[in-house]
């Protein structure tokens, strides 16, 4: 079966394949691409087992499983990702090795089902040229070092060659590439700072979601946070807290999952917000999660210089804080340091808060 864009491959797990890893099983099939390409199809939601989306490339298949794969057709697959010159890039730092940009909300990082040539990767090809980007993540992810969710905005890194890409990814693995996010969450977060360490894996109930679990296959996820400002409850909500989160690992949806786990879901989060409380008024009118990558800091892998870039909040998130201003319970010491940098250039009025917590 072929729709001109992709073909659907139906597979049955036989005795010799019982217990195999999903990516290895797929790579052995003549109808499927390479193992790394199969892993990307799994991650992109293009593979189901017995009608349910696969949880990950390491999932094991068993005898009798019916596996379905949506494989890009030969007619539409390209060796070189198509450039898209219409997508603007907000570049904050660039040299011959790498660039730091601020990604707008609504932009997908790399091709996936439903997004072929309208991604950040396509824009990077247009800006740098396909042959001037690192390819360690695969031919469809040129330059990508780490990702942000489609509706998360803010700072990201891209690499212009394989050596730089590997060096930056090593910094992430060694937990020395400092990535800071700002998020507004529901409720009163009492501690001024805290740490969340859990396992995270794909949910077995909803394959679009990740979940906190102690399953041995789960990957460790570490998030620390500092409370910046708290806002009073009203008749229609339980109040809000503005946090800065520091990622030590980079699991899918990590901050959103961790905030839900501690009982403070991210404002505007359509996937992990409490379903019974998803009234738009409770999410302050936001149709996307209040999550912004506001600061990155790292040692340049080639020059050794310390590169630190900070990014103010985009207008939609800055407006939410402006609307909450009269309900502020005061900023913490960390908030006094960080909030002016986030807000000052967004046109939001800076006035003394009513007290420091």
Contact 117, 82 (CB under 8 A): yes
Burial class for 325, CB neighbours closer than 10 Å (0-12, 13-18, 19+): middle
Q: Which of 23, 140, 149, 151 is catalytic?
A: 149
Active site residue 149: yes
Our measurement of the distance from residue 164's CA atom to the centroid of its chain's CA atoms, rounded to an integer in Å, reads 21
Distance CA 81, CA 42 (A): 20
Contact 354, 329 (CB under 8 A): yes
The first and second tokens of residue 225, run together, are: 């946070």
Alpha-carbon distance values, 316 to 251, 295, 353 (Å): 26, 18, 22
Distance CA 111, CA 151 (A): 15
Distance CA 57, CA 35 (A): 10
The three-state secondary structure class of 247 is strand
The first and second tokens of residue 111, run together, are: 């091709």
Q: Which residue has the tokens 């109808």?
A: 31
The first and second tokens of residue 200, run together, are: 């995270």
* CA-based nearest residue to 154, from 348, 316, 327, 347: 316
The first and second tokens of residue 189, run together, are: 């977060």
Q: How do beta strands 328-331 and 219-231 pair?
A: antiparallel
Q: How do beta strands 193-202 and 210-212 pair?
A: antiparallel
Distance CA 212, CA 258 (A): 8
Active site residues: 149
């Amino acid at each position: 079966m072929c729709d001109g864009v992709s073909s659907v491959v139906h597979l049955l797990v036989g005795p010799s394949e019982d217990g195999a890893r999903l990516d290895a099983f797929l790579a052995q099939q003549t109808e499927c691409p390479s193992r790394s390409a199969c892993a990307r199809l799994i991650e992109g939601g293009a593979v189901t087992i017995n009608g349910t989306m696969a949880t990950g490339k390491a999932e094991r298949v068993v005898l009798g499983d019916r596996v379905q794969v949506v494989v890009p057709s030969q007619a539409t697959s390209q060796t070189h990702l198509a450039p898209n010159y219409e997508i603007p890039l907000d570049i904050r730092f660039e040299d011959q090795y790498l660039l730091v940009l601020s990604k707008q909300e609504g932009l997908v990082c790399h091709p996936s089902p439903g997004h072929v040539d309208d991604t950040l990767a396509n824009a990077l090809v247009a800006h740098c040229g396909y042959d001037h980007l690192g390819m360690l993540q695969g031919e469809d992810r040129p330059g990508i070092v780490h990702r942000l969710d489609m509706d998360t905005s803010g700072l990201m890194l891209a690499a212009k060659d394989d050596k730089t890409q590997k060096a930056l990814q090593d910094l992430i693995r060694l937990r020395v590439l400092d990535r800071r996010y700002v998020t507004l969450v529901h409720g009163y977060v009492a501690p001024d700072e805290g740490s969340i360490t859990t396992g995270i894996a794909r949910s077995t109930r909803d394959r679009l979601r990740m979940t906190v679990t102690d399953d041995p296959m789960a990957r460790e996820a570490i998030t620390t946070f500092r409370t910046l400002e708290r806002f009073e409850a009203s008749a229609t909500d339980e109040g809000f807290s503005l946090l800065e989160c520091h990622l030590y690992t980079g699991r899918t949806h990590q901050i959103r999952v961790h905030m839900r786990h501690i009982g403070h879901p991210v404002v505007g989060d359509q996937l992990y917000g409490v379903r019974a409380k998803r009234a738009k008024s409770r999410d302050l009118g936001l149709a996307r999660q209040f999550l912004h990558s506001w600061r990155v800091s790292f040692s340049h892998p080639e020059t050794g210089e310390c590169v630190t870039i900070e990014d103010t909040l985009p207008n939609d998130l800055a407006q939410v804080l402006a609307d909450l201003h009269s309900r502020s319970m005061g900023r913490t010491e960390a908030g006094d340091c960080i909030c002016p940098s986030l807000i000052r250039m967004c046109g939001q009025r800076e006035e003394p808060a009513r007290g420091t917590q």
